Amino acid sequence: MRSSSVLIAGVAAALLVFFLAAFTVSETQLAVKFRFGEIVKTDFAPGLHFQWPLVNNVRRFDKRILTLDAKPERFLTSEKKDVRVDFFVKWRIADVSNFYKATGGELAVARQRLSEIMIDGLRNEFAVRSLVAVVSEQRSNIVAALKREASEKVTGLGIKVIDVRIKKIELPDEVSASVFERMRAERERVANDLRARGKEAAERIKADADRQAQVIVAEALRDADKIRGEGDAKAAKTYADAYSKDQEFYRFYRSLQAYRRSFANGQDLMVLDPDSEFFRYLKNDHGK
């Protein structure tokens, strides 16, 4: 009976030692093992591990990507205009040993240090840019510069900046109207410039088209006069050849053409002397 009690007590003590000595690390965690408060190991793979009870202790940290969603801060632009900026940062623990040494393993301390770094960076970036540039096309440049600067400064904290985003930039009411008016005026100036260039190009194209049309018409009239002259010359030659071959027949043919043109309408009235040369061939019974 006594031996059974001793055995049970031994098993219980062994189980207690096992539970005190064993610890697990999940895939989403980073672990640090200490010996009397001094770091002795940090590179733990996910799974079951062991430590010396009362000699060692282990702390675990989240190795997933974390978010710093800071409260909106006010900054001054290069024109000393006040803006309210809302931003957030994606970060994670990259070196757990340096992270513990720099922050004591407190996420709140890490967030505070990271927030200060980001605010200083934003203040510097906004101070060298105008208000119009800040609220328009240069936001991506600000984010890129801020991420680059912050990545260098947080190395000593054992963390890594994954991404930086500016959610919104708000202007005071008294500033918004003037900024939008300046932006509207700038867009209007660009639009007027584009319209003027388009009108100039249209006038140039129209003038060139008019010039080409005049050239084409002039060349067409020239060619028409040339062809007409060649036709008239050929007709005259034909008439001359016909006349030289049979003068009487030529006169008869021309008279028939004159009759056809004169009486083509059927309603024309002509007052002529019956003995006129015009009726020469109509009075001849033999057609001569």
Tell me: pLDDT of 131 over 80: no
Mean pLDDT, rounded, for 137-157 = 83
**Is the CATH number 1.10.1040.50 carried by domain 66-171?**
no
The Cα 227–Cα 237 span in angstroms is 15
Tell me: pLDDT of 263 over 70: no
Joined tokens for residue 128: 């060298």
pLDDT given for residue 90 in this prediction? 93
Per-residue b/e over 197-218, b at no fewer than 16 CB within 10 Å?
Answer: eeeeeeeeeeeeeeeeeeeeee
DSSP, res 280: T
CA 11 to chain centre: 72
pLDDT tens per residue, range 78-99: 888 788 888 899 999 988 888 9
Closest CA to 132 of 167, 88, 174, 169: 169
The Cα 24–Cα 47 span in angstroms is 5
Regarding predicted confidence, which is higher, 233 or 132?
A: 233
Tell me: pLDDT of 107 over 80: yes
Average pLDDT for the chain: 79
Which distant-in-sequence residues (6+ apart) come within 8 Å of 58 by Cβ? Answer: 23, 31, 32, 33, 34, 49, 51
Tell me: pLDDT of 15 over 60: no
Per-residue b/e over 102-126, b at no fewer than 16 CB within 10 Å?
Answer: bbebeeeebbebbbebbeebbeebb
β-pair partners for 141: none
Mean pLDDT, rounded, for 204-218 = 90
Contact 100, 39 (CB under 8 A): yes
pLDDT given for residue 17 in this prediction? 55
The Cα 42–Cα 61 span in angstroms is 11
Strand ranges (E), 66-115: 66-69, 73-76, 82-93
Contact 168, 86 (CB under 8 A): yes
Please identify which residue in the block is written with the tokens 């989240």: 62
Tell me: pLDDT of 269 over 60: yes
pLDDT tens per residue, range 232-242: 888 778 777 77
pLDDT given for residue 66 in this prediction? 92
Contact 272, 259 (CB under 8 A): no
pLDDT given for residue 134 in this prediction? 74
